[in-house]
Amino acid sequence: MVASARRDSAVESGGILLRLLTAGAGIFVICILTFYRPLHTVFDVLVVLLIGVGLLEFYGIVRAAGMSPESFWGTLAGMGVGAAAHMGLLNPGLLAAFMVVASAHLLRGNRNIAGLATSIFGILYIAWMGSHVILLRGLPYEMGIGHIVILFTVVWLNDAGAYGVGKGFGRHRFPATISPNKTFEGCVGGIVFAALGAAILKEFQRLGATLLPQYSCGEYLLIAFVLSVAGQLGDLTESYFKRDAGVKDSGRFFPGHGGLLDRCDGLLFAAPILYYLGKWLL
């Protein structure tokens, strides 16, 4: 019994540590790729490749649920949406992707409504939403770098806080229809960690970090709250997909710790929100 409890505690500590290490390493790499202008294309290519990985994982979940998406053409079309975002043509790229996937279903005889619907939804969910990371990097007044740092800092700290507080102090669980493993304490913990991250970024900006946007402290905290809620909604949504399909992880992108979607599901919901908030506040 004691040995089992120690193993569970070690697993939980490892999960929290992985989230913090992922956040730190990810933010470091992102800062390098976004700070130096010649590397902006490299950053966008990396996002496009990760969109491809995310789509493969999503279509794998869909197949486990008994549906038949066009994984190959859907993944290629979704990566094309990311490339279109790099050229400032996100929505035309999305329309073209929908047409490619619909044509693939018809030409290959895969005339299954659920398969077609999930093929298209995957492009919208992974590619269109994920491509807003590329749009964020391109925000005017050289503010893209700062917004990218805000996005990843707030969302990943929200993820770590929700996981750590939920595991350590969670007592009141969400309704089983929403998520049997999430707690209200974890939800609040994620918001608190996100707010702390935003407050630290605001302090860096006040001390002279010119690449961070000159929002007020209240605006930084508002952004943290909105992104935290969006990130947790993204996490609940991906968990819902996996429960319905009967799978534990979306993939093996992080060996022993799940797939890319398991770590970046919150970013998919938060990136579009921050992009449009940024355009409004700037």
Share of the chain above pLDDT 90, in %: 54
**What's the token pair of residue 90?**
């996100």
Output the average pLDDT for the chain. Answer: 85
13 has a pLDDT exceeding 90? no
Whether pLDDT at 155 is above 60: yes
CB 63 within 8 A of CB 69: yes
The two tokens of residue 209 are: 């970090």
pLDDT band at 6 (very low <50, low <70, confident <90, very high): very low
Q: What percent of the chain has pLDDT over 70?
A: 83
At residue 34, does pLDDT exceed 70? Answer: no
pLDDT at 275 over 90: yes
Query: Is residue 271 pLDDT above 60, yes or no?
Result: yes
Position 98 scores a pLDDT of: 96
Q: Is the dihedral of CA 240, 245, 246, 248 positive or negative?
A: negative
For 43-83, how does the pLDDT look when each residue is reduced to its tens digit (9 = 90+)? 899 899 999 999 999 999 999 999 999 999 999 999 999 99
Which range is least confidently modeled, 99-108, 112-121, 180-189? 180-189
Query: 258 forms bridges with which residues in the sheet?
Result: 254
Query: Which has more pLDDT, 85 or 142?
Result: 85
Three-state SS across 199-255? HHHHHHHHCCCCCCCCCCHHHHHHHHHHHHHHHHHHHHHHHHHHHHHCCCCCCCCEC
